[in-house]
Structure 1
Amino acid sequence: MQIKQILSLIEEQQMSPDAGLELIRTYRKEQMEKKAEPESQAPSPTIFFKNDWVRKNNIDMPNQQAPGNMLIFDQDNRLFQHAEMMNGDHNRVILVTPDSDYRIERNRCTINPSDESHVEMLMSDLAENGFTPDVVLYLWNGEIREYTEESVNETLCRGINSLFLLSKALMRRNEPVTLLHIYWTRGLNQPFHEAVGGFMKTVNMESSKLKAKTIQIRHEYSDINPPVSEIWDAAISEIQRFQTDECEILIDSHTCYVKGLQPIDIPEHDHGSVTYQKGGIYIITGGAGKLGLLFAEHIAKENQAVIILTGRSVLTADQKERISKLNESGSIVEYQRTDITDRTEAERFIFGVKQRYGSINGIIHAAGILRDSFLVNKSLSDFTDVLKPKVYGTIWLDELTKDEDLDFFVLFSSFSAYGNAGQSDYAYANHFMDSFAMLRSQLSRNGKTLSINWPLLKDGGMSLDSNGINQIKEKYGMTPMRTSSVLEAFLKMLRSSFTSLMPAEGERDKMIKALSIQRNTVRQIKIHLRRNTMKKRNMLRKKKSMTI
């Protein structure tokens, strides 16, 4: 039985997700054993990828035909009224707005965004009334202006948490439906919304019936929302030319872009002067983990410094021994138990470091947890637990040190930011880090801002069994990065001009082919425009000859 068949059985509820995962592991193990080959020569030098916007191939707008029954999650009725006018006489449109109470009246509903029972009741009541959505538009997205506990909680509640519950309910229906998450920006990055791209990629990996993507509309006017006609046109366009590898779309001045990985070179002259100061004060969150301790040892080896490790767990004997050895090297290394996801605790921790040592020179945020399972089997509490270290932790660390004269602020993200089956929460959380790094850079904070999408590492990071490692090698050509390559790549990225990068080690050509987005290059776009210009000139010549 192949993986697609197993996923289909899970979707049709003929097999439990846990049993399916076990079968997938067995299948992968058998395939790897069949294709087992002797170890090849050492992997090629580290290659770097950048996740960036690339112009789409399809430049012409499709026909604006009605998409079918539509369910719209919005905070006002502007788009709903436009959709009723445009969607045809035989298709229904239903509006869902956020409220504390559950109500449903004809073509309007209200639900509590954080109440899973409301989402389930909505789907059940709509089905009883003969309504099956072909398209779901999700626009419960507000622009967050200040990062307070209340505003962050509310943004997550009406954003990804509610979208998670909706996606889960749609997947359980097991009927074909397109889900579009739509938001707009006015220049600055919106990490809460942009991170949905990682979540949507995972949804598409886990379901063959639910097709999902996110659309960002870049709007030039700061005081008003984009016209509903622009939102409608963007939605219809993406519905009609849906491609599973185009989960993140940007529309800017009627030009459409798709986000994807592209290989880049870090020029030798690009290596800046970021270094570890002698006597510098450095914080590493997730400091008791393999990756945290690896970088503590790295900093201590480069220069005598004060290294504050922090985490929520109690140290093991082995961890205590490693920290003790670091103190023998001349550096001061200590561990403080702190929940960096709690703003009060985070504030107390940062204040304590500054009070004791006077300043902070650099931060490496390496905290993270996993709760892997398919979305249909994942609880909201598990989902939010995974988000906390990378979302709340990133926000509070930045807020509490934004006025510090930092040399660097580094976020340890993951390859999972680009989507990974069983990790919809982890994909969102890491994608959030990538987008937040861009925002922090846009805000001109002190120090180098960098988010690193670490792939599998030989010594550190989130681990996989041998079957998972073999599967990634088979699919992408990637092998776990050696420790020497990790540290060398880190310094190279830290001293580069880039804000978000993914290093990788393995079969170079295979990685580029498997990971890079294949879209129009600048040269191809110029050729396309040149051909259109020539066509117009030929038409004008024909018209002139006819008039003569």
Structure 2
Amino acid sequence: MLMTFEEVWESEGVGDFVVGVGKRVVVFSSDPVVEGVLRGEFEGRGDWSVVFVGVGDGFERVSERCFRVGVGDVGDVAACFSAVEELLGGVDCVVYLWGVEDRAHVVDASGLVCVIQGLSRAGVRPERLVVGAEFGDGLERCYAESLIGFSRSLRMPLAGTFVSVVCRERVAGVVGVDASGWAGVLWDELNGGGADAVLYEGVGSRQVCRVRPVGLDEDCGGVLRRGGTYLITGGMGGLGKIFSDWLAAEYGANLVLVGRGELDDRRRARVQELELAGASVVYVSADVGDAAALRAAVEQGKARFGGIDGVIHAAGLESRRSVVDKDVGEFHRVVRPKVAGTLALDEALSGESVDFVCYFSSSSAILGDFGGCDYAVGNRFLMSYAQYREAVGGPGRAVVINWPLWNSEGMGVADADAAAFYLKSSGQRFLEAAEGTALFERLLGQSRGGHLVLVGEPAKVARFVGVDPAEIEVGVCGGADDAAQVSVSEGDGGRVAGPG
């Protein structure tokens, strides 16, 4: 059965406190004010020992309980954790605040990746890893919330460690870091917080992420135009191929396909295939993170077809290794199409009149990826950015779809065995192309702009995402009726494809 959900922020207080238990805490902070306030807050309220790690030129011990490490140097971080274990006899909690003190560490997650890899290399497994991030506007919030991709994906790389991301709105009028405010938040989260994603918005407002099943509005089609012009990033592979085939066959669409490679013989053959199916096609070779190149693609589409009616942002790269095994360059290569590509696309569309911009995200943004973290982080950014863009009024309506794994030729899943186990254990199955394209048309016309799509056994899927199975079984998600409205193919034995 095909099911649709949404993820929402809901108010929730912290749980029961466990005060007085000995805790050995490592805080990644370079701010002496933060150090003084947190040390007083924690060590003054129980049997707590706190060590601080700041940004430096290399690994050094500044004082008995203060170290410095080079940003991006995994060896430094591993050596630091080993030294702290020797000093304290172990590490119970790690708190990462570099992203609170410097926005650059939220926009660029290299420092956090290094901390995770340092934990792994040193063999340190704390009970908790709390990642703090602060935001002052809507775009900064997108970057902050993207880090939730880490908490959803680190279950395997950091087995035994509960990871939570705490996003906090910057307090107006406070110069620098609100050290006392963060001290209270961290005390609450370490002692009573049990959520992997927490939002503090406004004064004293604590919210957590929850997945909720939702139904679909009826009679909400008509967004797509017969003979309309649609720009698709990542248009030559994966979901780009599925949707360009469908738009050609069903709508005789004009297609502006953006891809990384030059127009070689294989791509020319693909263009001819689409044109034989009823489309008119312009292919543009462009770096999706280059706003000028994307603007040129828009202009080429307008010159050929007169305008752009809608955009599908489907460009993306798969994550093929665990975050503890990859270098930071590989991490950024996967994130870039989703973050830099999204921002570049928006810049390229400035001043244009389009019906919609649909961001193809992944269920991994909500449920986690297979330990790479980069894929979940990039797709999580798409989720937040679609809401931000809708709020500020960008060109066209912003829609984001968190697709599940697809069964189709195109992008192969890096670890087919892991994917098969994941689907079986969660009650899911692969989404067929005919199901996905039919659902896409309905989702474009919904009043809500964000959608998580899953397909499989309702009761098992419900338990997996943490909702009441009865809500799905009684048709809150549309359920079997939705499944009956799409043509379900038997599959062609092709490779399994992931979204984006």
Q: Do they superpose with TM above 0.5? A: yes
- In structure 2, distance between residues paired with 1:126 and 1:305: 61
1:182 aligns with 2:100: no
Deviation at 1:48, TM superposition (A): 0.4
Residue 494 of structure 1: which of 444, 452, 458 is its match?
A: 444
SS of equivalent to 1:191: helix
- Identical counterparts, % of pairs: 24
Residue 76 of structure 1: which of 10, 16, 31 is its match?
A: 31
**Contact 1:438–1:499 (Cα < 8 Å) also in 2:** yes
> 2:404 is matched by which residue type in structure 1?
P
- In structure 1, distance between residues paired with 2:155 and 2:441: 35
**Contact 1:452–1:502 (Cα < 8 Å) also in 2:** yes
SS of equivalent to 2:324: helix
> 2:36 is matched by which residue type in structure 1?
Q
**Contact 1:66–1:86 (Cα < 8 Å) also in 2:** no
| RMSD of aligned Cα (Å) | 3.2
Q: Which residue of 2 aligns with 1:3?
A: none
Deviation at 1:53, TM superposition (A): 1.8
Matches within 5 A, 1:253-402: 253-268=203-218, 271=220, 273-276=222-225, 278=227, 280-313=228-261, 320-354=268-302, 359-402=307-350
Aligned residues: 462
Deviation at 1:166, TM superposition (A): 0.3
**Contact 2:101–2:176 (Cα < 8 Å) also in 1:** no
**Contact 2:153–2:369 (Cα < 8 Å) also in 1:** yes
> 1:135 is matched by which residue type in structure 2?
C
Q: Which residue of 1 aligns with 2:161?
A: 210
Deviation at 1:169, TM superposition (A): 0.8
**Contact 2:237–2:411 (Cα < 8 Å) also in 1:** no
**Contact 1:64–1:236 (Cα < 8 Å) also in 2:** no
Deviation at 1:131, TM superposition (A): 7.2
Q: Which residue of 1 aligns with 2:370?
A: 421
1:47 aligns with 2:3: yes
1:114 aligns with 2:72: yes
Shift of the 231–65 alpha-carbon distance from structure 1 to 2, 3 Å rule, reads: farther
> 2:424 is matched by which residue type in structure 1?
E
Superposition TM-score, scaled by structure 1 size: 0.75
- In structure 2, distance between residues paired with 1:75 and 1:348: 43
> 2:284 is matched by which residue type in structure 1?
Q
- In structure 2, distance between residues paired with 1:65 and 1:462: 51
Q: Where does structure 2 lack aligned partners over 5 or more consecutive residues?
A: 472-500
Deviation at 1:111, TM superposition (A): 3.6
- In structure 1, distance between residues paired with 2:173 and 2:278: 53
Q: Which residue of 2 aligns with 1:137?
A: 95
Superposition TM-score, scaled by structure 2 size: 0.82
Q: Which residue of 2 aligns with 1:247?
A: 196
> 1:294 is matched by which residue type in structure 2?
I
Shift of the 462–415 alpha-carbon distance from structure 1 to 2, 3 Å rule, reads: farther
Deviation at 1:215, TM superposition (A): 0.9
**Contact 2:308–2:353 (Cα < 8 Å) also in 1:** yes
> 2:458 is matched by which residue type in structure 1?
R
**Contact 1:171–1:209 (Cα < 8 Å) also in 2:** no
- In structure 2, distance between residues paired with 1:228 and 1:370: 38
> 1:212 is matched by which residue type in structure 2?
V
**Contact 1:67–1:239 (Cα < 8 Å) also in 2:** no
> 2:281 is matched by which residue type in structure 1?
V
**Contact 1:453–1:502 (Cα < 8 Å) also in 2:** yes
- In structure 2, distance between residues paired with 1:399 and 1:426: 23
- In structure 2, distance between residues paired with 1:273 and 1:87: 58
Q: Which residue of 1 aligns with 2:406?
A: 457
- In structure 1, distance between residues paired with 2:36 and 2:101: 23
Deviation at 1:330, TM superposition (A): 4.6
Deviation at 1:267, TM superposition (A): 2.0
- In structure 2, distance between residues paired with 1:76 and 1:143: 7
- In structure 2, distance between residues paired with 1:353 and 1:110: 52
- In structure 1, distance between residues paired with 2:381 and 2:106: 12
